[in-house]
Structure 1
Amino acid sequence: MEPTIGYYLPCKKYYKLHFEQFLILCKRAQIKTIEINDDYFNSIHSQSPPNIIVHKLTDILCREVLNDDKMAHQFLEKFRQMKGRTIMIDNLESISQLLNRHVQYSLLKEIQTIYVPPFISITDEFTANDCQKIQQLLTNNNIQYPIICKPIQAHGSESHNMKIIFDSSHLIDIQYPCILQQFINHDGILFKIFLVGINDDNFYIVKRSSIRNFTITQSLETISFHSSEVSSTQACSNLNNGEDIIVDGITIDNERIKELVRLIKKKFELNLLGID
């Protein structure tokens, strides 16, 4: 009996990943593929789940968790009922941890060998409108300016809308619920690590442009930006260095990266992972 891979991907992600090429490779290797959707669940095929399910269900998870969407819950329950009868890449419970930046960063902080820039969460209107209270929270947590303001929700187009705030007089610019985190200068370079599978050696590193360094010499107006415009393969922003990424002199320690991958994969219980 030939192995079967099931898949669920939104159309946008399907085309972005050129997923049809993966389906062609599977066919050549005599691996059967089947799309997991409502038609699948209403058919006789659902009685025998595929060996593996690859999915991108984060949009539906957000609707279930954040909007209490009953239709989303019912659809996801059908996936949960297959637990133990198929391999899910990845489990919905593990992915749910990634939807909230406070949860993400708190879990990372529990790994003692990983440095997470200090952060606080602003989740209520009363605190968001009290700049003095926010400043006290920043001081208590040793968070210095500049700070970066990120939506607490870590998925969806709105999650990429961020701000860099340079002093306490501009704390009024924050939009809650959000994470306020110390901005760390990193020379306008970002390394992304992509991991696939249970083998800690199966990772791939790419370099991307990122936000240039800042020095606090005077008060600056808050900078608003969309993170995908600053750090992507086609990024071209006035927040970048304005020149090609130069990585001369930077040595990547693959053993340290391997250990980083192992720790994060174990903590979040994920087999398909991207790390900045």
Structure 2
Amino acid sequence: MRLNGEISSGEEEEEEEEEEAAEAEEEKQAGTTTSPSPHKVVVGYALTSKKKKSFLQPTFTALARNKGIYFIAVDVNKPLPEQGPFDVILHKLSGEEWREIIEDYRQKHPEVTVLDPPDSIQHLHNRQSMLQDVVDLNLTDCHGKVGIPRQLVITKEKDPSTIPYEVTKAGMKLPLVAKPLVVDGSAKSHELFLAYDEFSLSELEPPLVLQEFVNHGGLLFKIYIVGEAIKVVRRFSLPNISKRELSKVAGVFRFPRVSCAAASADDADLDPNIAEHPPRPLLERLARELRHRLGLRLFNIDMIREYGTKDVFYVIDINYFPGKVWKNARI
């Protein structure tokens, strides 16, 4: 069974077979080890090679085994019901075929916790729908305000030459951050552009989302949510843009995936007015509401604080099963 290119061929396939053989031997050894935990929890995982390398770090799996939690690779070439038994299924594979397999398994095995339901994950594959749940929130009396930047969706059917007109019609202010509308896990879906003038907008390729750039002191908060646990880390982001700079710069500039490529800002000597974490009550309420609305238990929120304010925050992205979540999980 091949799932949208997740199962490779040639040298990559041989490499994966070697990795799986090593994993199987490790799991066999783990199964013969007496666990100090009174209850053994078996987690079946179906992940891309990249995700396995970033998530299943030796220190993490060793800690898990010590707690009686065992990670077992799911063989995507065999029927899922014939494997296990599992207490939890942890997955991040693409493709409609896999989506149907895991949804069917979830319906027939309600006793198994599936992280997370395919339809809920799919909701985050569209940047318009993912942030709508934030718009609909009413976080009153939570020590702050949470919203999203003003944004405009440019569909695939739109002629790029009409984008400047659409932006003017919507009354949006420059500069604008441009992101692909669809989030499919590819590198292209995480490309980020900053447009300084409306004429350069016609260089962009729909479908995409345009967001007004909000000055935020060059700092981004990544809020990791694992069940009810919340962990906040700081990352350097795009610097503030002054009106003077805006008047002198033109064009569209491409940036890397800022929140992942940037260095950690947790140990940097920063202005406390910028670096102070969002209030805990606000984060707890936001996480609780989004868990309920999204139907997810394993995700992260990218949030910024509007520069010059203490309690005005914007959610700019939501990601399912982020790459560094294992470092922030509590076992």
The verdict on a shared fold, with TM-score over 0.5 as the criterion, is yes
Partner of 1:151: 180
Alpha-carbon distance change, 126 to 38 in structure 1, aligned in 2, over 3 angstroms: closer
Letter in 2 for 1:183: F
After superposition, give the CA deviation of every residue in 1:162-216 in whole Å (9 maximum; x if it has no partner). Answer: 211122222212221100111100000111111111x2xx111111100000023
What is the rounded CA distance, in whole Å, between the counterparts of 1:126 and 1:39 in structure 2? 41
What is the rounded CA distance, in whole Å, between the counterparts of 1:215 and 1:161 in structure 2? 23
Q: Does 1:87 align with 2:125?
A: no
After superposition, give the CA deviation of every residue in 1:211-235 in whole Å (9 maximum; x if it has no partner). Answer: 000023315222423333x333654
TM-score relative to the length of structure 1:
0.80
Partner of 2:155: 123
Whose RCO is larger (CA < 8 A, sep 6+)? 2
Q: CA deviation at 1:131?
A: 4.0
SS in 1 for 2:243: coil
Identity fraction in percent: 23
What is the rounded CA distance, in whole Å, between the counterparts of 2:80 and 2:234 in structure 1? 44
Partner residue of 1:101 out of 122, 127, 135? 127
What is the rounded CA distance, in whole Å, between the counterparts of 1:12 and 1:245 in structure 2? 33
Partner residue of 1:260 out of 286, 294, 308? 286
What is the rounded CA distance, in whole Å, between the counterparts of 2:102 and 2:82 in structure 1? 15
Q: Which runs of 5+ in 1 are unaligned?
A: 61-71
Partner of 2:87: 51
Q: Does 1:135 align with 2:167?
A: yes
Root-mean-square deviation (CA, aligned residues, Å) is 2.5
TM-score relative to the length of structure 2:
0.68
What is the rounded CA distance, in whole Å, between the counterparts of 2:49 and 2:272 in structure 1? 39
Partner of 2:99: 76
Q: CA deviation at 1:124?
A: 3.1
Partner residue of 2:79 out of 19, 24, 41? 41
Partner of 1:3: 41
What is the rounded CA distance, in whole Å, between the counterparts of 2:289 and 2:192 in structure 1? 28
Q: Which runs of 5+ in 2 are unaligned?
A: 1-38, 140-145, 303-331
Alpha-carbon distance change, 169 to 44 in structure 1, aligned in 2, over 3 angstroms: closer
Q: Is the 8 A contact 1:120 1:137 kept in 2?
A: no
What is the rounded CA distance, in whole Å, between the counterparts of 1:233 and 1:214 in structure 2? 20
- Number of equivalenced pairs: 248
Q: Is the 8 A contact 1:52 1:89 kept in 2?
A: yes
Mean Cα deviation higher: 97-106 or 76-85: 76-85
Q: CA deviation at 1:264?
A: 1.7
What is the rounded CA distance, in whole Å, between the counterparts of 1:266 and 1:79 in structure 2? 21
